[in-house]
Structure 1
Amino acid sequence: MLYGGEITVTLGALESAVMRVCWEVQAPVTVRAVLDRLNEGRERPLAYTTVMTVMTRLAEKRLLDRAIQGRGYAYTAAVADEAAIAVREVLRAHGDAAVAHFAAEASLDPQLRDRLRRLLEQSP
């Protein structure tokens, strides 16, 4: 669960696990590749269709980008990390007021200001 002021972004456990795989790989990844990584060491493996559904929903939420690859899709993370997801949700809810608040808060720490600037540039 991620918090952004009044906004709560909740990713389920499997959604979070899929996003972590996509962030770790940092390249287009198929459902099969994510499934294989998620099933490593699991006593009860996940089904292909379960992971495919989660990845489709993450793409619909615009957290994953997808492109046709062969008979399926290859996915890449559309956001850099969990902080980027939180920034995106705050911006959707509060727009310009959120940007002004981020700018004011970031003036305290130049590194934070630069990080927020990068996140704001990534947000649609």
Structure 2
Amino acid sequence: MTKSVDVHEPTAATGRGRGELEAEILAALRQAAPDALTPGEVLERVDPKLAYTTVVTALTRMHDKGLLNRAKRGRAFAYTAAADDTGLAARKMRRVLESGSDREAVLTRFVDELSDADEDFLRRLLDSGK
């Protein structure tokens, strides 16, 4: 029995692990910065063997997650990365914090698990008013 592969599912169609296509797309967009790329341009830079619809789906999902900005260019959207790696990490941390049922408990656990150096840095950062 042959298993069918859905070309719309990036991990199934390409053999990439979860998140790998997103990482490749982000890398291509950062390399093109400050220029925005259309799905076709992303396709050419990432992997021309991918289905166009796979790239459009990935870009749309990444935009919905807040990872990308987009603006209309002709009949398509052109995309740019919403933030650099540190900005993306900060967004992820904020989303996790906001999704928890007890913010104070999440923050307490987070601080408890920091190294002494990271805790000192966080304290200085908070004291500086930033």
Bin for the TM-score computed over the shorter chain: 0.5 to 0.7
More strand by share: 1
Post-superposition offset of 1:19: 1.9
| Equivalent pair of 1:79/1:85 in contact (CA under 8 Å) | no
The answer for unaligned runs of 5 or more in structure 1 is: 1-10, 119-124
Report the TM-score, using the length of structure 2 for normalisation: 0.58
Helix, strand or coil for the counterpart of 1:46? coil
Judged with a 3 Å threshold, the aligned counterparts in structure 2 of structure 1 residues 69 and 108 are, in CA distance, closer, same or farther, namely same
Report the TM-score, using the length of structure 1 for normalisation: 0.60
Percent same amino acid at aligned positions? 35
Farther-moved stretch of structure 1 (88-97 vs 52-61): 88-97
1:75 maps to 2:79: yes
1:49 maps to 2:56: no
Name the counterpart of 1:86: 92
Name the counterpart of 1:36: 44
Runs of 4+ in 1 over 3 A off after TM superposition: 94-107
Post-superposition offset of 1:49: 1.5
Which whole-Å CA distance do the structure 1 matches of 2:61 and 2:77 have between them?
A: 13
Which whole-Å CA distance do the structure 2 matches of 1:103 and 1:113 have between them?
A: 14
Helix, strand or coil for the counterpart of 1:76? strand
The answer for unaligned runs of 5 or more in structure 2 is: 1-17
Which whole-Å CA distance do the structure 1 matches of 2:121 and 2:20 have between them?
A: 32
> How large is the Cα RMSD of the aligned pairs?
3.5
Q: Look at both structures and tell me which one has the larger radius of gyration over its CA atoms.
A: 2
Tell me: higher relative CO, structure 1 or 2? Use CA pairs within 8 A at least 6 residues apart: 1
Which whole-Å CA distance do the structure 2 matches of 1:18 and 1:63 have between them?
A: 11
Name the counterpart of 2:20: 13
| Equivalent pair of 1:103/1:113 in contact (CA under 8 Å) | no
Which whole-Å CA distance do the structure 2 matches of 1:79 and 1:63 have between them?
A: 7
| Equivalent pair of 1:107/1:113 in contact (CA under 8 Å) | no
